[in-house]
Amino acid sequence: MRAVILDLKGLETLDLTKLNDCVDELVSYSTTAASQVIERANGFDIVITNKTALTADTISTLEGTKLICVLATGTNVVDKQAARERDIPVCNCVAYGVDSVAQHVWSLILALHTNLLSYTRNISEGEWQKSDQFCFIHHPIVELKGRTLGIVGNGNLGKGVAAIANAFGMEVVICQKIGESKAAKSGELPFDQFVQEADVISLHCPLTDETENLFTLDVFKRMKPQAFLINTARGGIVNEADLAEALHKGLLAGAAVDVLTNEPPRSGNPLLDNTIPNLIVTPHIAWASEQARATIIEQTAENIQSFTQGKPIRTV
C-alpha cells in the first residue's frame, strides 16, 4: 500500500513512525494547492488530507485510490457522495482533542472573568506603576462559583468542558439540539430559555444550516448583560459583526473566539478591531495540544491498518 499526505503542515513535527509502519511507502507534502491535488494523489492507494479539498471532480479523476483518510473530525473537505460512488471509504479522527479543547475553553473563561488581558495591558502601559496604592482594581473580577455554564452541543467536547464546571462550583445547563422539533429532553433547555439563563455559553456544535448565524444581535440582546460567550466550534455559528456591536454596546460582558468565518482572516474580520472591549481572539488552536496532534497520527494509522485487514473503522 502506498499513501500520500497532501497537507501535513501543523503536524510535521510529530513522529510519523506509526504511519510509516502500516504502509509500504509514505509521501508527504506540507501543503498542496488545488491545482496540484490530482498530480500528487494519482496512483496512491491511500490519500490523506486535512484541509485540502477532494472534490467530486478530483475523486472521479483519481486512479488507484482505495481509501481516503482525514486528519480531523470534520470531513466537509471530501465529497463523500463521490467517494461512495467509487466505493472509497472515508475515515476520520474522533475525540482526539477533547482534553485540549476543554483546557483552552477554561483558559478563555478564566481570562475573561479575571479581566486578565485588560490588567496585563494596564501594566505594559505603566498604569499600575502610577497607582497610589498597592493594587490596581480598574476592571471587574467575577467569581465562577454560583454562575451557570451553558453548553451548546453536548457531545464529547461539550461534556468535557462541562465536567470541569463542578470544580468551580458552577451549575451546568444544556441547550436542546438546535433544529430539534420535539420537546426538550430532561435536563435540556429550549434555545430561547437557554440563552436567558446561562452566564457563560460555550459552543461545541457543528456548523450546519440550522446553526449558521445562530447567535445574532437579537440573541445577544436576550442574554444576560453579565454573560460571556465562548466559541471554539466554528466561526459561522456567530454573526461576527453582531458580536462586535454587542460588545461595543455592553450587551455582553465579554467574549472569546478561537474560530472565525474565514481562516486565516486575510481580508479582515469585524472581531479583529482592537477597540472591542473584553474580547479574546485566538488563532484556531484549541484542538492543537501536542498530545491531541499525536493522537491524530495514531488514529490515522489505526484507520489504515483496519482497512487493510478488511474491517474499516471510523468511516463517515
**Residue 190 forms part of a structural domain:** yes
Judge whether 313 lies within some domain. no
User: What does the pLDDT look like over 246-294, one tens digit per residue?
Assistant: 999 999 999 999 999 999 999 999 999 999 999 999 999 999 999 999 9
Spatial contact of 7 and 50, defined as CB atoms under 8 Å apart: yes
Cα separation, 148 vs 121, in Å, equals 28
70-102 pLDDT, tens digit per residue, is 999 889 899 999 999 999 999 999 999 999 999
Asked whether residue 88 falls in the same domain as residue 19, the answer is yes
Question: Same domain for 8 and 105?
Answer: no
One domain, residues 180 and 36: no
| Cβ pair 48, 300 in contact under 8 A | yes
pTM reported for the whole predicted model: 0.89
Q: Are residues 23 and 149 in the same domain?
A: no
**Among 243, 183, 236, 182, CA closest to 210:** 236
d(CA 250, CA 117): 17
Rounded mean pLDDT of the chain?
96
SS3 102: helix
Q: What is the DSSP letter of 255?
A: E
> Which cell numbers hold the place of 29?
507534502
105 domain residue, yes or no: yes
Residues 299 and 156 in one domain: no
CA–CA dist 93, 216 (Å, integer): 31
Exposure class string for 67-92: b at 16+ Cβ within 10 A, else e: bbbbbbbebebbbbebbeeeebbbbb
Q: Is residue 132 part of a domain?
A: yes
Same-domain status, 174 and 64? no
Whether 251 contacts 220, CB under 8 Å? yes
**182 confidence band (pLDDT: 50, 70, 90):** confident
**pLDDT value at residue 76:** 87
Do residue 270 and residue 125 come from a single domain?
A: yes
Taking only the tens place, the pLDDT of each residue in 52-63 is: 999 999 999 999
In a domain, 314, yes or no: no
How far apart (Å, rounded) are the C-alpha atoms in residues 274 and 202?
A: 22
User: Where does the pLDDT of residue 187 fall: very low under 50, low under 70, confident under 90, or very high at 90 and above?
Assistant: confident
Range of the domain at 103: 98-281
Q: How many domains does the chain have?
A: 2
| pLDDT, tens digit (0-9, with 9 covering 90-100), for 33-51 | 999 999 999 999 999 999 9
Asked whether residue 167 carries a pLDDT value surpassing 70, the answer given is yes
| 316 within domain boundaries | no
How confident is residue 171, by pLDDT bands cut at 50, 70 and 90?
A: very high
Task: Report how far residue 257's alpha carbon sits from residue 247's, in angstroms, rounded to the nearest whole number.
Answer: 13
Going by C-alpha positions, the residue among 74, 110, 72 that lies closest to residue 202 is 110
Whether the CB-CB separation of 290 and 103 falls below 8 Å is answered with no
* 81, 108: one domain: no
Q: Is residue 234 part of a domain?
A: yes
Q: For the chain, how many residues are written?
A: 316
CATH code assigned at 91 = 3.40.50.720
Burial (CB count <10 Å: 0-12, 13-18, 19+), residue 120: exposed
User: Are residues 69 and 138 located together in one domain of the fold?
Assistant: no
* SS3 state of residue 70: strand
Within a domain: 221: yes
Gap between the Cα atoms of 50 and 11, Å rounded: 10
Residue 183, pLDDT score:
67
Residues 162 and 112 in one domain: yes
Indicate if 158 and 231 belong to the same structural domain. yes
Q: Which residues are catalytic?
A: 234, 263, 284
pLDDT at 31 over 80: yes
Quick one: which of 32, 69, 101, 81 has its CA closest to 305?
69
Q: Are residues 275 and 239 in the same domain?
A: yes
